[in-house]
Structure 1
Amino acid sequence: MKTRTRKTTRVLCASAIAMMTLLSSAAPAFAVAEADQKIYLVGGDDNSITFDKKIYANDGENAPDVNIKYKVDPRKVEDVTEPEKTALAKSGYDTVVTGKDGLKATDTTFTKDDSLDSGHDYFLRTSKIDASKLLDGLKRPTVFTYTLTEEVQGEQQKDFLPAVEGKGYTRKLNIYVGYKDANAEASKTLSVLYATLADEDGNKAVGFENNYDTQAIHLTKKVTGNQGDKTKKFTFTVNIANQYSKVTANGVTTNLDTTKLAPVDHNVSFTVDLANDETLNLTGLSKGATYTVTENKGTYNQAVTVDGASKEAVTDLAISDSADNVVFTNTKNGTIPTGIYLNHKLPFNIAGIAILGGAISLVAKKRHDALEEDDDE
């Protein structure tokens, strides 16, 4: 009985050790399943990693027409913080090395025809990093550490695509290479399992986030003066430079060709007719854009006032942080005809006629009296 009991005990112990070994070897794979998936960038079957790119915008706005690039730079292993190393070790990764050179991320491209992601207030795209070269010559599970940087092209784009406050344009990227399962470990087949991103402050992230900052112009026509024609349509030419998305027009759009509201080489140009008290609201203008509004002369020249200054055009104005209200006022005054002929000699003429009439009456009366006297004699 003792021999059989000892034999059974040995079998159970051996089984337990085998199970512990299996769990230990598969820990990195199980760690993905047990962790919050939102903070992991899961690798694909082609040993790639994808990450999100989000641009937040107001409802009804169009996406900016931009192409975003990224840099993947090896991060020195000594720059990996102790909390990071501790977290990695708990996931079964004791080996952390500086990333290999040559990794590239695909660009993220947005176009002016893109729509907001369903049910959200952002435009969403993904970018991919091919990490297959990390497997070359690798013998055991390893974490490769990098710095991933969003390259917003120039200060102009940074004006209207600022990073979400506190998020910045760089991320700490760790790419985990290990065994997908026990069979992979048995065959020593390593794969890119997943990756993590963290912002500059160490907060977990799934990609990069930017705001699309836009502005507006409100163009209003005013006609004043006792001879101002308030039914007349006045034609305006609007030119907008440094524009990266479609412009949205609300209000009066008489003869406005809306197909011209999409930028060509980041420029928008169109004409519009406005009568008295009509306003054209232009929204979705890229922050940092400049515009020129010119009123074409009508059939008669009138005094034109723009925001209180006498001029005929608003030239190269940068859109302010709040909406620009541009008011063109045309004023025409003149003498209003009454339909009565006025002559400054009229009073004298009337007086002369009255005097003449009186004289004729007096002469007639005297003649009449003289005739009566003759009759009496």
Structure 2
Amino acid sequence: MKKTKKLLACLIAAATMFTMGSTAFAEEAEKPTTYTDQSKVTIKKQYNLEGQGTSPAENFKFTVAKTGVSDSAITNLEDMPEISVGDIHFDENSESTVSASTDITLPQYNSVGVYTYTITEKPGKTAGVTYDSSPVELKVTVVDDNGDLKRIVSLKKDGTKLSDDVNAFTNIYRAGTLDISKNVDGNLGDKNKYFAFDVTLNGQIDKDTAKSFSVGKTSYGKNPETITTGVKTTFYLKHGETLDIKNLPYGLTYTVEEHDYTTKEGYTTTVNKKDGRTLENQTVKNGTEKAEFINYKNNDKIDTGVNLTTLPYILVFAGVIVIAGAAFITRRRKYED
């Protein structure tokens, strides 16, 4: 009997402790959560340079669309508070990667709810620049925190949440160099002669292309230091030289034509190992574009003044004369002795 009473007392004590613990857990779970109000959000952008050159200055612009509202007294998208995203500007830069950002100041909300916006980069027209077409989702959750409405912000791109150190948008500028080289071959090829080339650069119709590009120096002192887009420009090169035109955006086209040295001077011309003297409407799409010109002039029948077909007989005749002369001298000495 005593054991039964003790067991009952233990059960009552355990039940009391469990009830007290449950009450404590309930009180802890019911403790209100405090929120930090976010009045602004930062949009980060990265601008990459690929290939050879300098990324041009660029002002990147954005549009914002209201795309969702829920759990709010507002039911129409048009009635959602407005937000706007400022431009992100980059100066001309030769670094492979540069970054910049802009802050979005969030409006005040008069109702709790979940407000969703879509931020899209406007495609620009700068030649060689790839624009980021993947939008960013900005979600503002407005909660009631003891009578105060507070904003909680999240950013997503392609379904993945963006952390504070991740770029929301990335752009790439791609540019290359055009190398025009000259080599002269053949026993009559003049390696000190300057050969003339006409070079024309053309931008894309729907793109903004730089007005001029810098040109590397060669031994011909009067070569232009720049070339203007859309203008045929003449340069001179001699054997072993290369003329380089730098920072040409991908998509730009070029034509290189060597002047005619065949009709009057007898040179045979190849460009990039193919017969001809013109490389026409080529598109820049690599780090280095090559236009390799070779001029060949040779004479397999050089007039030496001797008919090579009778040369062996002449040599035999000369040998006979030498032997006869030697025999005559030897016999005369014997006679004199």
Are 2:193 and 1:232 aligned? Answer: yes
Residue equivalent to 2:172: 211
- Equivalent in the alignment of 2:243: 280
Q: 2:292 aligns with which of 292, 306, 327?
A: 327
Secondary structure of the structure 1 residue equivalent to 2:187: coil
Identical amino acids, percent of aligned pairs = 21
- Determine if the alignment matches structure 1 residue 115 to structure 2 residue 107: no
* TM-score (norm: length of structure 1): 0.55
Q: Secondary structure at the match of 2:36?
A: helix
Residue 115 (structure 2) pairs with residue 124 (structure 1): no
Tell me, yes or no, if the aligned pair for 1:71 and 1:151 is still in contact at 8 Å: yes
CA deviations over 1:182-240 (Å, ceiling 9, x no partner): 9xx99x7x89x785432113230443112223334332212122211111222323222
1:286, CA displacement in angstroms? 1.9
In 2, Cα distance between equivalents of 1:268 and 1:331: 29
Match of 1:313 in 2: 278
1:290 aligned onto 2:253: yes
- Give secondary structure in 1 for the equivalent of 2:190: coil
> What does residue 54 of structure 2 align with?
62
Whether the aligned pair in 2 keeps the contact of 1:247 and 1:284 (CA below 8 Å) is yes
The gaps in structure 2 that reach 5 residues or longer are 1-30, 318-337
Aligned 8 A contact 1:97 1:144 in 2:
no
Give the Å deviation of 1:172: 0.8
Q: What residue is the counterpart of 2:325 in the other structure? A: none
Amino acid of the structure 2 residue aligned with 1:153: G
- In 2, Cα distance between the equivalents of 1:217 and 1:332? 26
Cα distance in structure 2, aligned partners of 1:306 and 1:270: 19
Instruction: State whether residues 65 and 117 of structure 2, in contact with CA within 8 Å, keep that contact through their aligned partners in structure 1.
Output: yes
Structure 2 CA distance, aligned partners of 1:150 and 1:201? 17
Structure 1 contact 73–101 (Cα < 8 Å) conserved? no
Say if 2:70 is the partner of 1:105.
no
Amino acid at match of 2:255: T
Separation in structure 2 between the aligned mates of residue 110 and residue 301 of structure 1, nearest angstrom: 53
Does structure 2 retain, via aligned residues, the 8 Å contact 1:96–1:145?
no
Q: What is the CA–CA distance in structure 1 between the aligned matches of 2:283 and 2:293, rounded to whole Å?
A: 18
1:222 to 156, 159, 183: 183
Are the counterparts in 1 of residues 69 and 114 from structure 2 also a CA contact under 8 Å? no
* Distance of 2:245 and 2:302 partners within structure 1: 38
Q: Any idea what SS the aligned residue of 2:160 has?
A: coil
Stretch of structure 1 that moved more, 200-209 or 316-325: 316-325
Find 1:148's aligned residue among 113, 116, 119: 119
- The aligned residue for residue 71 of structure 1 is 63
- Root-mean-square deviation (CA, aligned residues, Å) is 4.7
Partner of 2:135: 170
Measured in 1, the distance between the counterparts of 2:240 and 2:290 equals 13
CA distance in 1, matches of 2:129, 2:276: 30
Report if the CA contact (8 A) 1:147-1:171 is conserved. yes
CA 1:162 to 1:71, structure 2 compared with 1: closer, same or farther past 3 Å?
Answer: closer
User: 2:279 and 2:103 mapped to 1: Cα distance?
Assistant: 45
Quote the offset at 1:130 in angstroms.
5.8
Cα distance between partner residues in 2 of 1:296 and 1:229: 16
Q: Say if 2:69 and 2:113, in contact at 8 Å, map to a contact too.
A: no
Q: What is the distance in 2 between the residues matched to 1:219 and 1:142?
A: 64
Work out the number of aligned pairs and report it. 271
State the alpha-carbon separation in 1 of the partners of residues 55 and 88 from structure 2: 13
1:305 Cα shift? 1.4
Q: Distance in 2 between matches of 1:74 and 1:98?
A: 6
Structure 1, unaligned runs of 5 or more: 1-19, 33-41, 44-48, 79-84, 86-92, 352-377
- Cα offsets for 1:298-325 (capped at 9, x unmatched): 6846322112333222110123456433
Q: More helix per residue: 1 or 2?
A: 1
Query: Secondary structure at 1:28's aligned position in 2?
Result: coil
Distance 2:53 2:179 in 1: 17
**Deviation of residue 144 (structure 1)?**
3.2
CA distance in 2, matches of 1:170, 1:216: 33
Q: How far does the alpha carbon of each residue in 1:327-367 deviate from its partner, in whole angstroms, 9 at most, with x for none?
A: 111122346454x488x9xx9xxx9xxxxxxxxxxxxxxxx
The answer as to whether partners of 2:113 and 2:142 remain within 8 angstroms in 1 is yes
Tell me if the contact between 2:51 and 2:175 (Cα under 8 Å) persists in the aligned partners: no
Given the superposition, is the C-alpha separation of residues 314 and 60 from structure 1 closer, same or farther in structure 2, using an over 3 Å criterion? closer
1:77, 1:55 → 2: CA distance? 33
Contact 2:44/2:167, CA 8 A, preserved across alignment = yes
Q: CA deviation at 1:110?
A: 4.5
